[in-house]
Amino acid sequence: MPELPEVETVRRQLEPWLTGRRIARVELLAPPGPKYAGLGRAAGQTIEGVGRRGKFLLMPLSKGDELVAHLGMTGVLSPGGAGERAKHLRVAVDLEGGSPNRLEFNDTRRFGRFLIVKRGDYSALPTLAALGPEPFDDAFTAERFHHALGRSAMAVKTYLLSQRPIAGVGNIYADEALWRVGVHPLTPAADVRADEAAALLHAIREVLAASIDAQGTTLNDYRTVYGQSGDYADRLDVYGRAGHECPRCGARLERLVVGGRGTTFCPDCQRHPAQRGGGAVTLGAGAGVQVAGRRRK
DNA sequence: CGCATTTCCTGGTAGC
DNA sequence: TGCTACCAGGAAATGC
């Protein structure tokens, strides 16, 4: 699923292509709705750049608007025009001038968004409006991260996924980063110690940077603008690997559900706070935390 | 306001 | 083969 590394990979490819291009027209193929608001204002505006905040792509337009794209679970941005219309094409943007002159937004499950807002007006996008700091912002220190975590009683993984303490971390990289620093995903955010917060921020930066270098993680749908898969899936240590051995200690990785999301962790490396009191703690085999499964309807 | 729960959506798959 | 049921999850909407 597209998280910061995947969105940044797409951004880097879109930027040289789209910057300075004038929009001729926009075609909405999906049923109209708030996820595709304002597209009627696009024609005649020039795309002034391609930025990113967290998992949101932000393209300022010349007449005071801003094109906001979020890939959701299955969104793909790519040049289009050749061949048959894709089954799940939702939006097509025709550009003036030379080829490629058509940007297509395909999104099988329609969790993504592709809309135009007044520049900087994110009232229709509350997560973007309340988004935490960019992970690679130099002004974002470990102390600030620790302070942000201290504001929530939520499980640390759930809080990371909320995008409030830090922007761009999703299910995959949350599991990877928490495993790297040995913090149990159910640890209350406010109980993460200062040293753990510092290590967690460092781990988030490392895993995101390594994934960007690999052009992201392709599990199923994610593709770069030019149709390539990301290579980081081969380098995941824990995500989706419940039942396999922990790469660090060899214990069996376990799966639980945190905030409604599948979560993989190492029961030995990532002790639940309720089980990790001071001194040496000896736990029997199978000491993993039991959590109720996903509720049914 | 904080936090939990429910909803949106389709392809893949398990089970019969 | 074809049917039903369920599962995956980012962000918004809804409920307390």
Q: Is the pLDDT of residue A50 over 50?
A: yes
- For C6, nearest residue by CA–C1' is A296
Q: Is A3 annotated in the active site?
A: yes
Indicate the range of A12-21, A109-118, A181-190, A274-283 predicted with least confidence.
A274-283
pLDDT of residue A200: 97
Q: Specify which residues A155 forms β-bridges with.
A: A188
pLDDT of residue A277: 57
Q: Is the pLDDT of residue A239 over 90?
A: yes
The pair of three-digit structure tokens given for residue A173, joined into one six-digit string: 């990289």
For residues A240-277, b (16+ Cβ closer than 10 Å) or e, as one string? bbeeeebeeeeeebbbbebbebebbbbbbbbbbeeeee
Strand C proximity list, CB < 7 Å? A 1, 3, 34, 54-56, 70, 72-73, 109, 111, 125-128, 161, 163, 170-172, 257, 260-262, 293-294, 296-297
- A259/B4 CA-to-C1' distance in Å: 9
What is the rounded average pLDDT of the residues A234-252? 94
- A220/B14 CA-to-C1' distance in Å: 19
For residues A218-236, b (16+ Cβ closer than 10 Å) or e, as one string? beebbbbbeeebbebbeeb
- A235/C1 CA-to-C1' distance in Å: 39
Residues A110-157 pLDDT 10s: 999 999 999 999 999 999 999 999 999 999 999 999 999 999 999 999
Task: Specify the 3-state DSSP secondary structure of A33.
Answer: coil
Residues A23-49 pLDDT 10s: 999 999 999 999 999 999 999 999 999
* Cα-Cα-Cα-Cα dihedral sign, residues A40, A43, A48, A54: positive
pLDDT of residue A1: 80
- What DSSP character marks residue A115? E
pLDDT of residue A273: 78
